[in-house]
Structure 1
Amino acid sequence: MPAVTVDNPLHLPRVPRPPAERHTLRPALTVVTAPAGFEGEGFPVRRAFTGIDYRHLDPFILMDQMGEVDYAPGEPKGTPWHPHRGFETVTYLIDGTFVHRDSEGGGGTIRDGDTQWMTAGSGLLHIEAPPESLVMSGGLFHGVQLWVNLPAADKMTAPRYQDIAGSQVRLLTTEDGGALLRLIAGDLGGHRGPGVTHTPITLVHATVSAGAEIAVPWREDFNALAYVLAGRGTVGPDRRPVHTGQTTVFGPGDALTLRADDRPDSRSASLEVVLLGGLPLREPMTHYGPFVMNTHAELAQAFDDFQAGRLGRIPPTRP
């Protein structure tokens, strides 16, 4: 882990460390541990946002770490057909291969560092599964799926897709080259990621070498979260300890800092972390299952539309 790496981060553009006299480091308000569970047909996940008040998450709804698991032949699993309405799903595949299909004939394949950004909008049915070749051979599967709320004005927008290849992700580093920053969406230190978003957000996958520290500017009007995919380290100016499967909620400020432990743990040579923030919508939100709406009446309508087939029909199985 992960698939997208570089031989020498010092060849990459650098994100300058925010000067201490002109920036305020965000404190770590709380650290929560993600419970483990299973999704779809039985692939393992960690629920990164469980136990965090929505006011700290807005505009995000949930985030699952999928895997990391090394499947034996015949073991890889996906999800059955299911509906979505009112939000966006961001599937970032760190290692492995996933095939997506939807009721409108859309979809595609993502693998090894690719991201698929699906705006469900007014609604559709879709399925995510490993390809048959991976089911037969087995192999490594590891990724993240994030749900991003849509503003009320965009809830019923037409579905849209963005396929962001791993080669398109903006690769950056810190001043000393101690971290590889993969900017998927948003702005970081004047650099922009390839993702196009309805709601302003920043999404970064950072690999921090043992003993290295990152300090990066962060929009003051954004919230800020950090989820540890692997490894151990500390977060915030008080250096609060964190480890695999833990999410940090940061307080106010305009810069983030975190540090990898000097001695890596036995499973990861680096600290692997997702840095995430967005502009809160501050709108009513009601969420149940695969639907995220503003009112209970809209939620009930989504279920009615799904049951009546107005979100699409499962297409015939391809030969």
Structure 2
Amino acid sequence: MRHIQVDLCFWNCAATAVEDVVAWARVLQAHGVILLAHYTLEPLTENQWEEVFRQQREEEEYFKSSISHRIAFVDWGKLNSGFRFDEYHEGDGGGNKLQLGGLLDFQFKDERHLVEPFAQRLLAIARALYPLARPTYGEVEGNWGEWDTRAVSRLRLQHISWANFFSPVYVEKYGQDLLLNIPGYKTELLPDGGVFHQLSPTFVAPSEEEAQRLRQQVKDYFRRHGLQVTCKAPFIIPGLTVRRTQARSPISDAELAAYLKQILGVTLVLDDGTRVKPISIPWEALTPEQRQIAVETIRQAAVEEVKQAGGKKVRLEFNEIPDELDQALAEFAGRDNPHFEWVEMRRDS
């Protein structure tokens, strides 16, 4: 894992006037956020915010309206972060999205120590912004999550993030009991009748075992209620999260290479042309270096499968998808690619 994107996202906000966006900016300022000018990166005054917001809305071509800003945090001046609010044309599904977040780098500058305080700051901002923005659904999540405005407009329940804000319309559709009993650290009723859910006290998983346990609890809970959701939080950060203890004998690099060559050489072709590659990896027996080798080898195999598919769908089925593999495949193919997907298959499925 070379980096992680941590974002606060609110979908389909009810309050969307420029005056509302200015009110949001005041909340950001109260939490140590500075809005910056696009080119000079100089701090903007409140009057300048409003003027720039109005101008950006009037000049927007691709969205119905769009407001975006580089931002800085008083205590993390060089953090790569930004704020934007987009309204989509009806032909693109309509709705809107408020996004505030940043990219924390692990490769060129080690910002791992900022991941937890940054996520907690975004959560505090989200709790303060929720009653002002009045979104249909909101989250604080890593690596871009799984939501979009279409899914929220249809009131789908498809993903549980680290922190979740379900508006009253979600409560009306799915029931207060279902949402209040989602496994995790905290659930509470919001003043407007919505439900807040936080999966774990920390964004960074204390251990790989704890992360897998919580994720599976959430999936099993919704499965019992006839729903299928994904869950990727809490997040496993190299050097911060305790790796799973090895339950198997160590595997040599030569053995790993031979095993990967064998298992990645198998592809099933369905009647409709879909190429399915079942992949079972003993992740708990691998060293950190071997895990990286496995991830890169799988990524290369995915590239070759896409070339062979000739436009047909490619589906990778894993016994387990560690975070670094999930991110590598997302960077390769994108999360909304209709021609490529990767899934974790339960042993009892």
Instruction: Give the structure-1-normalised TM-score.
Output: 0.28
Q: Return the structure number with greater helix share.
A: 2
Q: Which has the higher contact order (CA 8 A, sep 6+)?
A: 1
Q: Return the structure number with greater strand share.
A: 1
- Choose 1 or 2 for highest CA Rg: 2
